[in-house]
Amino acid sequence: MMVGRILAGPIRHTLHGSRDMSNPDTASAAHAPFPRPLALLLMCGMATLFASNHVAARVAFDAGTGLLLAILVRSGVALTILACLMVVQQKRLSLPAGTRSWQLLVGLLVTVQSLCLYSAVARIPVVVALLLMNTLPVQLALLSWALGGSRPTARAALIMGVILVGLVVVLDVPAWLGEPEAMGPEWLAGVGFGLAAASAFACALWITEHRLAEVGSTLRTLLTMLTVLVAMLAAGALELVPGGLTLPLSLHGWMGLAALGLFYGVAFSTLFIFVPRLDMARNGPAMNMEPVAALVLGYVVLGQALSPVQLVGGGIVVAGILVLGFSKRA
């Protein structure tokens, strides 16, 4: 999943793109940061590609593609990229003592996150699913506090409250309570899956920071993706998810399946290769372009549109995440 912003740092910075400081050669070989305009342009482009991956997934799901198959394609592309990096960089496949069980747990949590996020995308508008995933900073802050970390400051707590208010607006909770059937039979399940995806990833990030700090980023991400791939294959073989490996029923479905692997692979590899030069501490919040791009792409490709009130709520959520992200870095 996921970069230097709190969310995509989720996914993509802490798990995928952090510099391997445990290796002195890697640290000394770090290049100078890109000029900020170029770094921001690259990050907005990657955020758009990640959003495109989710929109393509919805196209594939609407054509009958199985959930497990979509995750297998995405994970397989990422795993191939990481394996090539490991070979090129000549890194060893060995974990420090005491980290194997934690690494396995992170892989399983990312597996759950992938299943839940794609399940949400299949049931509710893509932008809504991604906005729910954007509750990650709030959930991670509360989880860290509950596990002995510092308590969120009053300012951070206020920003979190504003983010939750924005979610209430974008989810149109009053309308759902008044007329649940108008929101669709799978609306509530989709919302639950979106929140569960953020929760699973928050746990994965906490473990990564506190239990896997000694593991190099490339190896950590390779093993995480390998765990996801093996778990999906096992789930498919055991038929734990009915129809999980169903092939697309139309050309559009095949195109969506190919596109989700392509978009994710390009974004993933670009982020992983260039993250040392992107100055994530300053520029990470630019990755919050993802739900905005999903809103536009969802409308153009899928015909999904939010009401004006929901658009305001989405703007509140993104603005809150940006402020919280910059506050963390300050």
Q: Could you give the maximum distance between any two Cα atoms of the chain, in Å?
A: 60
Average pLDDT, the chain: 84
- State how many domains the chain has: 1
**Amino acid in position 106:** V
Q: What share of the chain is helix, strand, coil (3-state, %, to 5)?
A: 75, 0, 25
Closest CA to 140 of 62, 186, 203, 59: 203
> What average pLDDT does range 101-124 have in this prediction?
95
278: Cβ–Cβ under 8 A, 6 or more apart, which residues?
4, 33, 34, 39, 42, 43, 271
**Is there a domain that residue 21 lies in?**
yes
Distance CA 277, CA 310 (A): 36
- Give residue 171's domain range: 8-329
Note the pLDDT of residue 192. 94
Q: What is the model's pLDDT at position 115?
A: 96
Token pair listed for 225: 């993706």
Nearest-angstrom CA–CA distance, 256 and 242: 21
In a domain, 197, yes or no: yes
CA angle 186, 126, 155 (to 5 degrees): 105
User: Which phi and psi angles does 248 have, rounded to 5°?
Assistant: -60, 145
* pLDDT at residue number 181: 66
Query: Measured in whole angstroms, how far is the alpha carbon of residue 200 from the centre of its chain?
Result: 11
Q: What pLDDT is stored for residue 17 in this prediction? A: 37
Identify whether 161 is part of a domain: yes
Q: How far apart are CA 315 and CA 291, in angstroms?
A: 10
Q: Quick one: pLDDT at residue 175?
A: 72
Kindly give the residue spans of alpha helices, DSSP state H, lying in 67-216.
67-89, 100-123, 126-133, 136-146, 154-170, 173-178, 187-211
Does 78 fall in a domain? Answer: yes
Residue 233 lies in a domain: yes
- The token duo for 14 is 């802490």
Compute the distance between CA of residue 246 and CA of residue 64 in angstroms, rounded to an integer.
7
Answer for the pair 36, 282: CB distance below 8 angstroms, yes or no. Answer: yes
The Cα 224–Cα 228 span in angstroms is 6
What average pLDDT does this structure show over 44-54? 93
- The stretch 261-271 carries a mean pLDDT of 90
Per-residue pLDDT reduced to its tens digit, 286-323: 787 888 888 899 999 999 888 888 888 888 888 887 78
3: in domain? no
Total residues belonging to the chain: 330
258 assigned to some structural domain: yes
State the residue for tokens 């190099």.
216
C-alpha distance from residue 211 to each of 21, 188, 207 (Å)? 15, 34, 5
Per residue in 154-178, pLDDT tens?
Answer: 888 888 888 888 888 888 777 776 7
Given a cut of 80, is residue 13 above it in pLDDT? no
Encode pLDDT of 117-154 as tens digits: 999 999 988 988 998 998 888 899 899 999 998 888 88
Residue 3 binned pLDDT confidence (cut-offs 50, 70, 90): very low
Looking at the domain assignment, is residue 24 inside a domain?
Answer: yes
Max mean pLDDT among 212-216, 248-252, 273-277 falls in 248-252
Q: What is the pLDDT of residue 319?
A: 86
